[in-house]
Amino acid sequence: MSKLLIALFVAAGLSVAGCATQREAPVAAAKPVAPISKDAYDTAFKNAETQYKMDKDACSSRSGNAKDICLAEANGKEKIAKADAEAAYKSTPKAREDARVTRADATYNVAKQRCDELSGNPKDVCVKQANAVLIKAKADAKVDRVSADAKQDSAMKEADARKQAAEDRRDADYKVAIEKCDAFTGSAKNTCVSNAKVQYGKS
């Protein structure tokens, strides 16, 4: 997989500010990436695990809530990278929804850890805001997935209708051709019928 694509997955990681910013900057969907191969998917998966180990080790120098936040960010970044890779590999509305939900959950987990730095009502408000962002992000992801499914279903129905219409037109033309064969007799009629069957795909 190209370094650019890997960079996109990593860049799609957490960018969580404090609780005060959650209300202004809710979780947004990552821009869909081009479909990737199984090899590219496997590489992205391994890279995510490698990056997680590095990020986790970097957290060891911290302590208390700062360490908890660091670990939540590392864990979230790994899950997001894997979910984004899966969405790119499967390239389905459901996979893209799952990736967005994973992103929302990861962002929420970090936000909750940041809320622990507060106390009393400010902490309660922080937690409620984090939860509201999570709920909205999941709701938006579901709406987009349902919309994409509806479009896909509509496209399939239209394709089926076009196919059926083509078959109906072919059948109608075949009947006309067979009717014209009645003007002949004997081998000439047989040849006419055979030609009509070949022309309109009839056995």
Confidence band, pLDDT 50/70/90 cuts, at residue 155:
confident
Q: Which of residues 1 and 33 earns the better pLDDT score?
A: 33
Percentage with pLDDT > 90 across the chain: 68
7 and 100 housed in the same domain = yes
Confidence band, pLDDT 50/70/90 cuts, at residue 148:
confident
Predicted pLDDT of residue 5: 41
Integer Cα distance of 114 and 193 in angstroms: 80
170 and 134 housed in the same domain = no
Which of 120, 139, 155 terminates a domain? The answer is 155
Q: How many residues does the chain have?
A: 203
* pLDDT tens, position by position, 157-176: 888 888 899 899 999 999 99
8 and 94 housed in the same domain = yes
22 and 71 housed in the same domain = yes
Predicted pLDDT of residue 31: 55
Q: Which domain holds residue 185?
A: 161-199
* pLDDT tens, position by position, 95-138: 999 999 999 999 999 999 999 999 999 999 999 999 999 999 99
Predicted pLDDT of residue 3: 41
DSSP string for the chain: --HHHHHHHHHTS-----HHHHTTS---PPPPPPP--HHHHHHHHHHHHHHHHHHHHHHTT--HHHHHHHHHHHHHHHHHHHHHHHHHHH--HHHHHHHHHHHHHHHHHHHHHHHTT--HHHHHHHHHHHHHHHHHHHHHHHHHHHHHHHHHHHHHHHHHHHHHHHHHHHHHHHHHHHHHHTT--HHHHHHHHHHHHHHTT--
169 and 121 housed in the same domain = no
11 and 105 housed in the same domain = yes
How many CB atoms sit inside 10 A of residue 150's CB?
11
113 and 191 housed in the same domain = no
22 and 119 housed in the same domain = yes
178 and 79 housed in the same domain = no
